[in-house]
Chain A
Amino acid sequence: MGIRFILMVNKQGQTRLAQYYEWLTLEERRALEGEIVRKCLARNDQQCSFVEHRNYKIVYRRYASLFFMVGVDDDENELAILEFIHLLVETMDKHFGNVCELDIMFHLEKAHFMLEEMVMNGCIVETSKANILSPIQLMDKAH
């Protein structure tokens, strides 16, 4: 299925957005997030963007103070996931204008709506930023 979860975490290690495409219990999720965040945050810029953890491969990328982490299956194309993270950030930038941690915190549901337009059941739905954002902008106009 490809993508198993998407996390956004600040550099203190606090989760700012979590979307899972497979079911984990609350305890498992907390434990998993803690372990991954510890592993990824300990790495420096020169190191590669991939970390193997349990049976996941984590592809992560840091934008300013925010880490984007995507857990994928073993046979997923890691480089493509990096590109996907970038697309996600560009999309959010386009909507929020230079997206930051607070935008995501205070507009959590909107960030989720964008993700919904991009990923479904762990697969990529749409790669055009305009197509991703149009339903969201339509809603904003309605209010």
Chain B
Amino acid sequence: MNPFSSGTRLRDMIRSIRACKTAAEERAVVRKECADIRASINENDPHDRHRNLAKLMFIHMLGYPTHFGQMECLKLIASPGFPEKRIGYLGLMLLLDERQEVLMLVTNSLKQDLNHTNQYVVGLALCALGNICSAEMARDLAPEVERLIQFRDPNIRKKAALCSTRIVRKVPDLAENFVNAAASLLKEKHHGVLITGVQLCYELCTINDEALEYFRKKCTEGLIKTLRDITNSAYQPEYDVAGITDPFLHIRLLRLLRVIGHGDADASDLMTDILAQVATKTESNKNAGNAVLYECVETIMAIEDTSSLRVLAINILGRFLSNRDNNIRYVALNMLMKAIAFDDQAVQRHRVTILECVKDPDASIRKRALELVSLLVNENNVKQLTKELIDYLEISDEDFKEDLSAKICFIVEKFSPEKIWYIDQMLKVLSEAGKFVKDDVWHALIVVISNASELHGYTVRALYKAVIYSEQETLVRVAIWCIGEYGDLLVNNVGMLGNEDPMTVTECDAVDVIEDAITRHSSDMTTKAMALIALLKLSSRFPSISERIKDIIVKQKGSLLLEMQQRAIEFNSIVDRHKNIRSSLVERMPVLDEATFNVRRAGSFPASASTMAKPSVSLPNGVEKPAAPPLVDLLDMDSDDIMSAPSSSGADFLQDLLGVVDLGSSSAQSGATQAPKAGTDLLLDILSIGTPSPAQNSTSSIDLLSTADVNKNPSNVLDAISSPAPPHIATTASAGMFDLLDGLSPSPSKEATNGPAYPPIVAYESSSLKIEFSFSKAPGKPQTTNVQATFINLSPNIFTDFIFQAAVPKFLQLHLDPASGNTLPASGNITQSLRVNNSQHGKKSLVMRMRVGYKLNGKDVLEEGQINNFPRGL
């Protein structure tokens, strides 16, 4: 009984599934069927197996789990009849994969079937093996397959050949066993054997250089002859496609010639004639012919230089590109990308056509063309190409804008001849497609603007004009940043360039833009936070309307975002009560360091931070040693985290104070933290109350900032001012200042005022080693703590090659001086000084991870620990 002809149940199931109107109905039917199949499997009736499996394959195709049928496949494969085996193997290929252990059970059946007397059974086994075999099965069964490549029936030979491609890919060591057999297949006449043999050779060439060399020597001429024979062969109805005999075989042969000719001038020379013949004689009015031409062009471009052939190839591509068929144009664009490598000029000639393709209604063609255009750009044509692309950006599909704007930004950044042009183009992109622009791109724009001091006025005016017409988020962000920084240049028309039209912008207009941004519902938190900072800055730049600005800031006290609320309160207090420090507090941002930004953007670690990062992370006891890898694992942080550490504490500090909070975009920081050291001292200057030189200043700021804490201990303050080196008072004062500005954070200054010195701690202790830390602070530098580390050997043995490493979170910076020695005698000690800079001083306590390495009796010992018991307030 054939379950397919009379197996109504399978047909019934398919019908009932077809009849389902909704996905839920379909699920119900499938669930019921699966239950029936399970029950039937449990009954273990061999007559139902065939049908069950057929059903399961259908259910599997629909995307439902069918693992419970896997064992049925194995049972069917093991049964003697051909129909059972056939469906069993099909199920095996569809329902199982090489990762499942069940598959191991089938190895034995496969082995038997590969040796079966019925060649159709052998064919089934080869096919299954070729589709799903694992490395282990490949090893076990390779000898059988090797033997079958020489089988008398060509239908088995071709399957064995393809089965071998899988085997050698799974176990490349086996490749050499197949080289001779593969070479013999190339002499065959049967197309199926030939095409599979060629594919096997191709596979062997790609995984094994010796095989490649062998085929190059022994088979090149034979392959050329075979290709010539089919190219010139008489009409063969069975293989003819649109006048070409077996285009599939053509293509595979050309592909194998490609790997053979690549990197070998002699072999390339041999195939010149036949390639020229294929390139000139192949009919190009049908798809099959074009497929062959396409492959031929690719081969010509990959083999060693034969310039006359390349001209031919480029001409074919030119013809393809002007073809009306979109498929042909698509592959032409694809190939031109490869052609650029050796003949840029020839491709440049098609620039206009390619640009047209960027505007094609077909997304696939657009995408290819865009890739190609970005390769075509150079210094000479960048302006023209960019103009074309930006013009198109205005009218392009919404879903293409992301790709398009990314490419334009890339081109503009890479080839921009001058800054003003770069800024102009970026503004256009931001206005048109700002929401698609990635963070690093607009950050880079800000860095460039910051560096182009002569263009500040021009830029802020251009941005002002642009932002009035466009609400694109990133444009708004750049605009408010610039207005905040350079608002005065905007209203006073400072730094007019020759070709600019004068415009009148009042202070109110400028603030309007920012108020719009901060009140707009679609603005996200980053934009709002930036707007708030811009307002703070403008409050000082535009004193005449500072009341209005204050009102806007005060409104943000009711913001639902905690960060905004807090900043609004802080900024309000600055605007309100500290007018005398405000102007210096909100001075223009120092010029951002372009080089550092670019390196960090590129994501390469050491070069960027070479000077700052290394000391801040780890220095073994004066021993030169690459610090990064141990540090990374010491800190358990990914390198990204570490990368954001290298900035002077001032920058972090500034950033924190001004509330440039890291709002999830890791690079949001970079703009601010880029400030080079000199510039960022700005704030330190303002806040460095304890700086010895301007004593007057420090007194007044303490007065000014008179916090409850300080007031409670007036004598202390007086003491401090009179004492020559008042390390603790500096802390007090600045902590107090933080209190004020922070408003909300708990005050850590109590402890600081209580004890003039910090008690030493035992940082680490094990059975053999003890580490003690004692602390001191330099006057005027409350953020910096000097730590004297003493390492004491508790064991009776001598430690040699002693090395201490430490790592700190990114708000801290660590500098290690060389240790007093690297040998630690029994009960002896070594000292080493460390300097820790706490950018969150007053908010966060010190914390450190450390690792100690030494040799004990010639063996390496490693001890690690975390130090959490630092005195508070350091």
| A interface residues (Cβ-Cβ under 8 A, vs B) | 1, 15-19, 21, 23, 26, 29-30, 33, 43, 46-52, 77-80, 82-84, 87, 105-109, 112-113, 116, 120-121, 123-131, 135, 138-139, 143
Contact = CB atoms under 8 A, between A and B. Distances in A.
B248 A143 contact: no
A69 to B, nearest CB: 14
A139 B61 CA distance: 24
Contact of B94 (A112, A121, A123): A112
Contacts of B63: 15, 26, 29-30, 33
B781 interface: no
Contact of A77 (B127, B162, B251): B251
Contact of B362 (A1, A48, A129): A48
B852 interface: no
B364 A52 contact: yes
Given A82-B287, A83-B241, A127 B90 contact: no
A125 B158 contact: yes
A91 to B, nearest CB: 12
B192 A79 contact: no
B155 interface: yes
Contacts of B295: 77, 80
B163 A120 contact: yes
29 contacts: A23-B99, A29-B63, A33-B63, A46-B326, A46-B362, A47-B326, A48-B326, A48-B327, A52-B364, A77-B291, A78-B331, A79-B290, A79-B294, A80-B251, A82-B287, A83-B241, A107-B4, A109-B90, A112-B94, A116-B93, A120-B127, A120-B163, A121-B131, A125-B196, A126-B192, A129-B238, A131-B155, A131-B192, A139-B86
Interface string B51-90: 0001001100111110000000000000000110011001
Contacts of B158: 125-126
B199 interface: yes
In the complex, the 10 A-B pairs of residues with the closest C-beta atoms, listed nearest first: A79-B291, A48-B326, A23-B97, A47-B362, A126-B192, A80-B291, A120-B162, A30-B63, A48-B330, A120-B130
Nearest to A29: B63
Contacts of B58: 108
Interface in B23-56: 54
A67 to B, nearest CB: 15
A116 to B, nearest CB: 5
Interface of B: 2, 4-5, 11, 14, 18, 54, 57-58, 61-65, 82-83, 86-87, 90, 93-94, 97-99, 120, 123, 127, 130-131, 155, 158-159, 162-163, 165-166, 169, 191-192, 195-196, 199, 238-239, 241, 246-249, 251-252, 287-288, 290-291, 294-295, 298, 326-331, 334, 361-365, 367
Contacts of B238: 128-131
A48 B162 contact: no
B364 A125 contact: no
Residue among A51, A126, A128, A143 having the largest count of chain B Cβ atoms under 10 Å: A126
A49 B18 CA distance: 29
B361 A47 contact: yes
Given A17-B61, A80-B291, 17 more contacts: A15-B63, A33-B63, A48-B329, A77-B291, A77-B294, A78-B330, A78-B334, A79-B290, A80-B247, A82-B327, A106-B11, A109-B4, A109-B90, A120-B130, A124-B248, A125-B196, A127-B191
A83 B83 contact: no
Contacts of B246: 127
A120 B287 contact: no
A80 B242 CA distance: 13
Nearest to B66: A26
Contacts of B93: 116
Given A123-B199, A130-B238, A131-B155, A116 B90 contact: yes
Given A48-B326, A112-B90, A127 B291 contact: no
Given A15-B62, A125-B162, A135-B123, A106 B14 contact: yes
A117 to B, nearest CB: 8
Given A52-B364, A77-B291, A108 B54 contact: yes
Contacts of B327: 48-50, 78-79, 82
A52 B155 CA distance: 35
A115 to B, nearest CB: 10
Residue among A15, A87, A121 having the largest count of chain B Cβ atoms under 10 Å: A121
B435 to A, nearest CB: 23
B162 A121 contact: yes
A50 B365 CA distance: 9
Given A77-B291, A108-B57, A120-B130, A127 B326 contact: no
Contacts of A143: 2, 5, 83
Nearest to A30: B63
Residue among A50, A120, A130 having the largest count of chain B Cβ atoms under 10 Å: A120
A120 to B, nearest CB: 4
Contacts of A18: 61
B294 A123 contact: no
A124 B197 CA distance: 11
B61 A123 contact: no
Contacts of A128: 191-192, 238-239
Contacts of B99: 23
A88 to B, nearest CB: 12
Contacts of A113: 86, 90
B103 to A, nearest CB: 11
Residue among A47, A125, A143 having the largest count of chain B Cβ atoms under 10 Å: A125
A29 B4 CA distance: 27
A76 B65 CA distance: 32
A75 to B, nearest CB: 9
Contact of B61 (A47, A107, A108, A125): A108
A49 B166 CA distance: 29
Nearest to B238: A128
A123 B363 CA distance: 29
A26 B65 contact: yes
A78 B368 CA distance: 14
Contacts of A105: 14, 18
B87 A109 contact: yes
Contacts of A26: 63-65
Contacts of B166: 121
A138 B287 CA distance: 33
Contacts of A121: 130-131, 162-163, 165-166
A83 B131 contact: no
A49 B295 CA distance: 18
A16 to B, nearest CB: 8
Contacts of A33: 63
Contacts of B162: 120-121, 123, 125
A1 B169 CA distance: 10
Contacts of A135: 120, 123, 155
Nearest to B254: A77
A23 B134 CA distance: 12
A34 to B, nearest CB: 9
A142 to B, nearest CB: 8
A99 B196 CA distance: 28
A133 B651 CA distance: 75
A82 B247 CA distance: 12
A30 to B, nearest CB: 4
A125 B192 contact: yes
A19 B95 CA distance: 11
Contacts of B362: 43, 46-48
Residue among B162, B298, B361 having the largest count of chain A Cβ atoms under 10 Å: B162
A78 B169 CA distance: 23
Nearest to B123: A135
A48 B365 contact: yes
A47 B192 contact: no
A124 B83 contact: no
Nearest to A45: B326
B360 to A, nearest CB: 9
A46 B330 CA distance: 13
A79 B290 CA distance: 7
Contacts of B248: 80, 83-84, 124, 127
A78 B298 CA distance: 13
